Structure formats: structure tokens, C-alpha cells
Amino acid sequence: MKTWENLFEESDFIQDLSDLLAIPSIKQSNPKEGMTFGEDIQKALSFMLAKGEEEGLLTYQHDGLYGYIEFGPKEAKDYIAVLCHVDVVPASGKWTNPPFEPYVENNRIYARGAIDDKGPTMAAWYALKLLIKSEYPIKHRIRLIIGTNEESGMNCMKSYVANEPEALFGFAPDAQFPIIHAEKGQINLELSCKPKYAKDTINLESFQAGTRGNMVPDIASAVIKGKFTQEQLQRINQLEQIHEDVSMEQTDEHSFTIRTVGVSAHGMEPFKGQNAAFSLASILLSLEELQFHPYLTFIQTYLKNDFYGQNLGIDFEDNIAGKLTVNAGILHYDLEKGGTIQLNIRCPIETPYEKTIDQLKALADQKGWFISNQRSTQPHYVHAEHDGIKALQVAYEKVTNNKATLLSTGGATYARFLTNGVAFGAVFPGKTNTAHQVDEYAELDDLKKATLIYAEALYRLANI
């Protein structure tokens, strides 16, 4: 009898994955005409669709937003969706090797996107190839859907659901095993304040940290200006000696640039990183002339290391998805324009959205701040007894011999765009998820095991 493992071609898998990882598919701000999110993302999308065409499968691309590879009986009414993405977050921080020059070491493949989400995407594609090779009968079509904008708005999937029929069931290989059937919702908003200028003293000229709301900033910098006395110069110069993560540069006789370094992490788990903006704000507040600066004191009082919104007055927890979390992802201050802080708040299934937003507005009003660019997404939840979930549980348990428990996540995956969609792998229990981190990697043995699980799952789902 054919087995998934006997059909798996490991060397081909590693080569295809390496080729995909070498494409720096980060969203571009000014893309060429016809390339919605940039030339490199388009290249990654085309790379995957070409793989489907090589196998003689139906492929389709919609305005550079999404594409899909389809297999199965053409007359089948229903289809099973596998929701992948080929865009990646920027590769900030100091990498051991260039982030888009993938390499294998200690049975791990290193590159930006290795686990989020190119490794799992390739595992899903090879799982489909295994199913094709097996010649096992299926009654539903299978669509491997390739998104291009998962990391910065998910407009690709918004377009997909507006233009394509609903899937019978689907999964996104873009989180953890066993099965995530509940995803937190989100509240994203921007807090802003007016600038503060003080004559004849030190002023905060600028403050900058973060590039994405869903990442913990690992670098922060600020410029302070003034007519420094000798005493002030001495105190400022001592900062670099007192704090290990600080570097400074005196750009001219009236300006200092101060930088701090933290640890990046995914915005859904801000407690796993070290927000460089928090340490920079604390360091600046240690200067007597800045100790009451409204922008810095707000960061220190309401955000620093308060990952669950207690100081903001919005902490909440339920039995399905756990605690609400808060990430301060992008922070910017300008002496002429004022300051902004972009918050990414992950909300459990039963979060009282209106009450949460009202509390934030009340706090902003109290402190003379303003709220803008507010947007919300609701939580997503699929009942544990759904036939699709049962099929995934059988597949996972058959390959791993471990219990397929149901989980929740603070992450937002494509699964929420399906009525009956869940996140399914590819990080195994007890393993480190290096998504959005420096030296991101995926374990090759785990990607192979995920491929076998996905092949079994696709076979079972395509016959429910």
C-alpha cells in the first residue's frame, strides 16, 4: 500500500522551498503597475502558480491579489480550501546570515518566511502532490490558495471572498498544531498628542520606533536638542555607561541622537519580545528636563511592559481564548507635529468591544490625547464538533500518535475568512515559533511531518 512518506521527495522539497525563500517578498510602497503589492510578492505568487502548472493543474490569478492551484473532480460542487501566503514581514535586526539567502544548518532551514509562511505553504503544496501521486479517490475539489497581503491588511483574502464561492471547509497552515479553532479579534487604533516645546531647556525633537503594528519594535531612536550646559552634557553622556542597550551620537553642539535595542516578536505575543521604545522612553525620562514630557510619560505609565491592558483599563479574559493583549507597534513623535502611538489589541472571543473602545476614548480624553484610524475585526470560532475538525483530528493523530487538542490564538490567520476555517500547524507543540524574529527558521523534520499530516488531512477532508 502506498504511504505518504514513501511518496515524499525530500531533496526536491528543500530545493523548491529554498528557491521560494530567496524571493524577498516584502510589500512595496510604490509597486509597478499591475503588481498590487510589489514585484517581489508578484514573483513569489507566480513561482507557486508555476509549480501547479508544471503538474498540469488548473491555476488562476486575480489582479496580483491572490491565486490558486486546484485539483479534483471538475464536476464537484464543493471544494476544500488551504489558505497560504507568500508575503513576509521586513527582516529587521542583526541576522547571522542575509535573511533572503536561505541555508540549512542542524536540520533547520533559515530565512525570512521559513515558518511564516513559506515553509508551511510548501508543505501544503507537497501534500497536494502526494495526494495526486497516491491516486486515492476524492469527491471534493481542493484549492491551494496563495495570498499576497497577509502581513499588512489581508486585502488579498478580502478580495478572494468577494469574488469566489465559499469553501466547504478549509485550513490555514500558518500557526500551531494541533488545531486552532478560535482566533482573537483585533482593535487597531492610533493615539495622538500635541507637541510640547519648552524654551531654554532640552526638548524632545523626535522619537521613532517600529515599522509594523503587528511586531514588537526592536529598535528605537530619539533626538534631543538644546543649549546644553556642561552639567547637562555630563548627565547625557553618562546614559551610555549606565544602560547596556543604549548607543549615542552627538550630531552637533545642540543635538544628541539616542538609540536603544530590544527584541522583536510577533504582536500577538508582545510579552515574548522587548519593546525598544519602552526602554528608550524610560531613559529619556531619567533626564530631569524631560521627566514630565507627556508623550514619554504616557508610554511609561500606560504601556511599558503592560501586555494585558491593565493600566489602560481594558484587561479582559475568557475561557476560550485567554487574555486580551496589547502591542505598541509603531511610535512616532515630532516636535512640530506631535506624537502618535499605534496599538494592536488582540481580543478574546467574548470581549466587550464597545466597552473596551469607550474606555480607551475616556482615557485619551482625560490625558488630552486623541484617537484616530480605529478599525476592528471580530473574533473567529468554529465549533469543536464540526466534521472538518474531526477529520483534521484523525489525520493529526494518525501521523503523530498524539492527541489533537483544540487551541486558541491571538494571531489572525486567513482561516477567519471562511465560515468553517481553522488554523492547522505548522509549528508543533513544544517547539519555538520564530515567526517575525531575527534568524527565523523551520525544522526540516517538522516540515516533512507537517506535509504528511496535510496529505492525510486533504484526503479525509476531500471525502467528508
CB-CB contact of 123 with 446 (8 Å): no
Give residues with Cβ within 8 angstroms of 238, minimum separation 6.
none
Helices of type H across 152-272: 155-163, 230-242
Judge contact between 160 and 70, C-beta under 8 A.
no
Separation of CA 176 from chain center: 13
* Cis status of the peptide bond prior to 426, with omega within 30 of 0: yes
Whether 101 sits among the annotated catalytic residues: the reply is no
User: Computed from CA positions of residues 106, 112, 117, 121, in that sequence, does the dihedral angle turn out positive or negative?
Assistant: negative
Peptide bond into 90 cis (omega under 30): no
Dihedral pair phi/psi, residue 149, rounded to 5°: -145, 30
> Cell digits for 436?
517575525
Q: What are phi and psi of 397, to 5 degrees?
A: -70, -35
Q: Find out whether 244 and 280 touch, Cβ atoms under 8 Å.
A: no
Which residue, among 180, 203, 236, has the nearest Cα to 416 in the 3D structure?
Answer: 180
Cα–Cα distance for residue pair 331/354, rounded to 1 Å: 25
Q: How far apart are CA 360 and CA 59, in angstroms?
A: 46
Residue 336: active-site member = no
The active-site residue out of 16, 116, 117, 150 is 150
Q: How far is CA 213 from the centre of its chain?
A: 9
Q: Quick one: 58 exposed, middle or buried, by C-beta within 10 A (0-12, 13-18, 19+)?
A: middle
3-state secondary structure of 447: helix
Give the Cα separation of 296 and 339 in Å (integer): 10
What cell does 110 get?
Answer: 533559515
Q: Measure Cα distances from 31 to 35, 36, 38, 60, 444 in Å.
A: 6, 6, 4, 21, 33
Q: State how far the Cα of 284 lies from the Cα of 261, in Å rounded to an integer.
A: 14
| Closest by Cα among 26, 353, 342 to 214 | 342
What's the CA gap between 130 and 455, in Å, rounded? 6
Active site residues: 87, 150
